[in-house]
């Protein structure tokens, strides 16, 4: 049979491939057999090493360009084992200067036994004093080198620890997951907070040096160098001035405080107490600090602003008021009589004020935080309305802050109680819910969100933490614009009534927060005094959510002080001082 054109062309292609294969085979023969010995000599005297240069992390700025996290030079002690003459003497001397037990140095030296040519980091960030001593002794101690590497530095210390997080050496498990993304052992990686969430922006690209070394591994000559490229910078919405004021006021309290610009959704300040010093986590000189932190009963590692779920107490009353106006046709002029006590069947619920508030309307009840008024209002509205309003106001779900670890809080309802507790919903549960007690919990960030929704009459911007990313040279790479949130709904008159009542609570005598009224600024807000289940003798949580200036709020704030007492006596004055300190120059 005559070959077809396909066969002819296929033969041609095949012969082309075969010819190239023959060239490969020939070269292989030439390299391995003809010049094999020459290459073997090159291999045994191979003196070219690649050294990885770690990249400085990007800098984190506040909204005005103040530095929240940067890098400082840290001095690491590196040992090149092939150069060491007397290992025992070296370990002894190092232990003396660095104040480290010999066993620990030995175990560090053994870490990379499989790679005898790799320099071993024996101690990191030893401080300039010890570094100088070592440098002077270097000729005496062969094989020891002091290397300068960037170390993460948090100038603000413990204040922003939860928010910024910290970096640490990559763990074997993290490495397994990330090795294909270019992470290597001994790299730093963000562990929690902004450092963890934005690690890929911040970490930069490692560089390298091609170095010729002597027969004993000593660095002889730099052949070429590719500098490391620093990571991108982050610009946060945090305002360091606001943060510092809030931190100083919160000092000594256990709890949390959050301040937000409701127009742009910018989180300006976030405090969670007790806290920890992130600088001590970066290169833990003393492991005890870290283990004590994790075991501490005050949970300093917990970011209370996002993960602390507290009963809201009376700061929940505005939610009940909105539910009543929206779902049950109740008008603000509705009055109830408060005699100081309210009976439901055989159970009686008390108002916080003995003797009661008399016959009052909705605005007056919010201003004075009358419990009996809200018991009755809540019962008339019903749990379903309160639950629906709570969800529309963002409670019972995560706000969605890009930090990780946020908790959703809890909005109870008939269905929830049936599945979670296995019981029906009782009117007594509604009574408790009406003053923010019982099953309901909110986080401080949700409380701030509630304040922001009220401040913007249902349409605040979504909360955010990062406003821009810039290159190491300072060029803006990305700018994030404020994103409006889905409108919460509710009628304009309802919002107006609510804002008027919260202003009266501060501005008018008899208001629960009148103690913080200040002629220089108009503040509106709601106090809360939340009773806590648990061991008796523990005081109530002290809450305040507020905004200023009241007619067009620029700042909203939420404060909770655990077991501190009444909202009007602790949280409200603290928030008042913050707003005055920040807004009145």
Partner 1 sequence: MFSFKALKHLDWTLLAVVLALAVIGVFFIHSASYQLRLATGVRFSHRQAVWLGLGLILYFLLAAVDYRKLIYFAYPLLGLAVIMLALIIVAGEARLGARRWLQVWGLNVQPSEIAKLFLVMALARYLSERFPERWRWSYSLVACLIALVPAALILRQPDLGTALVFVPIALGMIFLAGARLKHLIVLLLILLILLPVFWFTLRDYQRTRLLVFANPDLDPLGAGYTVIQSKIAIGSGGLHGKGWLGGTQNMLSFLPERQTDFIFSVVAEEWGFLGSAALLGLFSVLICRLFVIAHRCRDLGGRLLAAGGMILISTHVIVNVGMAMGLLPATGLPLPFISYGGTVTVAMFSVMGLCQSVYAHRYWHLY
Beta-carbon contacts of 265 under 8 Å, excluding residues fewer than 6 positions away, are 452, 460, 461, 462, 463, 464, 482, 483, 485
Cα 389 from Cα 381, distance rounded (Å)? 11
What is the nearest approach in angstroms of partner 1 to the Cβ of residue 54? 15
CB of 36 to partner 1, least distance (A): 4
Which residue's CB is nearer to partner 1, number 180 or number 286?
A: 180
Query: Cis peptide before 462, with omega less than 30 degrees from 0?
Result: no
Residue 484's DSSP bridge partners are 461
CB closer to partner 1, 48 vs 102: 48
Catalytic, 363? Answer no
Q: How far is the CB of 246 from partner 1 (least distance, A)?
A: 33
Q: Which is nearer to partner 1, 477 or 487 (CB)?
A: 477
Binding site for partner 1 (CB under 8 A): 5-7, 9-10, 13-14, 17, 20-21, 23-25, 27-29, 31-33, 35-40, 42-44, 46, 48, 50, 112, 114-115, 117, 172, 175-176, 179-180, 184-185, 200, 205, 207-210, 223-226, 229, 477-478
Measured from the CB of residue 145, what is the shortest distance to partner 1 in angstroms? 20
CB of residue 22 to partner 1, shortest distance in Å:
10
CA distances 565 to 202, 253, 353, 544, Å, are: 42, 12, 15, 12
Percent of the chain as helix, strand, coil, to the nearest 5: 40, 20, 40
The residues with which 150 forms a beta bridge, in sequence order, are 73
Please name the residues in contact with 77: beta carbons below 8 A apart, sequence gap of 6 or more. 94, 98, 121, 122, 123, 124, 126, 134, 144, 145, 146, 147
* Residue 203 backbone phi and psi in degrees, to 5: -75, -25
Q: How far is the CB of 55 from partner 1 (least distance, A)?
A: 12
Q: What angle do CA 437, 439, 441 make, to 5 degrees?
A: 80
Of the pair 10, 147, the CB lying nearest partner 1 is at 10
Q: Is 151 exposed, middle or buried (0-12, 13-18, 19+ CB in 10 A)?
A: buried
Q: 21 or 101, CB closer to partner 1?
A: 21
User: Which residue number, 129 or 185, has a Cβ lying nearer to partner 1?
Assistant: 185
- φ/ψ of 407, rounded to 5, equals -105, 155
**125 Ramachandran zone, left/alpha/beta (phi>0; psi -120 to 50):** left
Q: Give the number of other CB atoms < 10 A from CB of residue 123.
A: 22
Residues 177/154, Cβ–Cβ less than 8 Å = no
Of the pair 12, 128, the CB lying nearest partner 1 is at 12
Minimum CB separation from partner 1 for residue 475, in Å?
12
Give the residue with the Cβ less far from partner 1, 17 or 148.
17
**What are the tokens at 51?**
């050294």
Cα-to-chain-centroid distance, residue 355: 46
- Of 314, 363, 470, 501, which one is the catalytic site residue? 314
Q: Find the shortest distance in angstroms from Cβ 204 to partner 1.
A: 10
Return the active site residues. 314
């Amino acid at each position: 049979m005559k070959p077809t054109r396909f066969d002819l062309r296929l033969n041609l292609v095949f012969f082309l491939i075969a010819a190239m294969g023959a060239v490969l085979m020939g070269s292989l023969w030439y390299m391995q057999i003809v010049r094999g010995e020459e290459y073997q000599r090159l291999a045994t005297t191979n003196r070219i090493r690649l050294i990885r240069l770690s990249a400085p992390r990007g800098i984190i700025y506040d909204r005005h360009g103040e530095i929240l996290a940067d890098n400082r030079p840290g001095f690491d002690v590196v040992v090149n084992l092939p150069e060491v003459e007397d290992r025992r003497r070296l370990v002894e001397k190092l232990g003396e200067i660095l104040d480290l037990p010999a066993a620990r140095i030995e175990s560090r030296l053994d870490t990379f036994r499989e790679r005898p040519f790799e320099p071993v980091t024996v101690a990191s960030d030893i401080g300039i004093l010890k570094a100088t001593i070592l440098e002077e002794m270097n000729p005496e101690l062969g094989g020891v080198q002091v290397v300068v590497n960037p170390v993460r530095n948090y100038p603000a210390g413990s204040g922003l620890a939860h928010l910024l997080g910290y970096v640490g050496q990559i763990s074997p498990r993290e490495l397994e997951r990330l090795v294909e993304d270019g992470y290597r052992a001994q790299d730093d990686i963000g562990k929690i907070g902004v450092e963890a969430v934005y690690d890929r922006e911040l970490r930069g690209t490692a560089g390298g040096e091609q170095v010729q070394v002597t027969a004993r591994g000593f660095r002889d000559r730099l052949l070429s160098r590719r500098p490391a490229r620093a990571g991108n910078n982050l610009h946060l919405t945090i305002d360091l001035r606001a943060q510092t004021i809030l931190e100083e006021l919160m000092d000594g309290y256990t709890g949390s405080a959050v301040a937000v610009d409701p127009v742009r959704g910018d989180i300006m300040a976030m405090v969670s107490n007790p806290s920890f010093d992130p600088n001590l986590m970066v290169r833990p000189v003393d492991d005890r600090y870290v283990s004590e932190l994790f075991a501490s009963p005050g949970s300093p590692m917990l970011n209370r602003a996002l993960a602390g779920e507290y009963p809201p107490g009376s700061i929940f009353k505005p939610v009940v008021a909105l539910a009543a106006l929206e779902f049950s046709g109740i008008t603000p002029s509705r009055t109830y009589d408060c005699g100081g006590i309210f009976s439901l069947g055989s159970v009686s619920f008390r108002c916080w004020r003995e003797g009661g508030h008399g016959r009052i309307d909705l605005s007056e009840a919010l201003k004075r935080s009358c419990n009996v008024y809200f018991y009755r209002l809540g019962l008339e509205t019903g749990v379903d309305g309160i639950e629906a309003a709570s969800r529309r106001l963002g409670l019972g779900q995560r706000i969605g802050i890009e930090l990780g670890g946020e908790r959703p809080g809890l909005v109870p309802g008939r269905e929830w109680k049936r599945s979670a507790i296995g019981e029906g919903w009782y009117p007594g549960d509604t009574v408790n819910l009406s003053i923010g007690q019982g099953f309901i919990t909110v986080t401080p960030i949700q409380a701030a969100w509630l304040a922001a929704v009220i401040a913007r009459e249902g349409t605040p911007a979504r909360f955010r933490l990062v406003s821009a990313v810039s290159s190491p040279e300072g060029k803006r790479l990305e700018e994030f614009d404020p994103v409006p949130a889905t409108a919460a709904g509710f009628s304009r008159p309802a919002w107006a009534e609510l804002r008027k009542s919260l202003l009266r609570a501060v501005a008018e005598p008899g208001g629960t927060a009148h103690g913080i009224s200040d002629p220089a600024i108009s503040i509106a807000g709601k106090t809360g005094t939340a009773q806590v289940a648990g061991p008796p003798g523990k005081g109530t949580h002290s809450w305040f959510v507020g905004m200023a200036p009241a007619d067009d709020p620029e700042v909203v704030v939420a404060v909770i002080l655990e077991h501190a007492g009444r909202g009007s006596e602790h949280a409200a004055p603290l928030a008042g001082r913050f707003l005055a300190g920040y807004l009145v120059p």
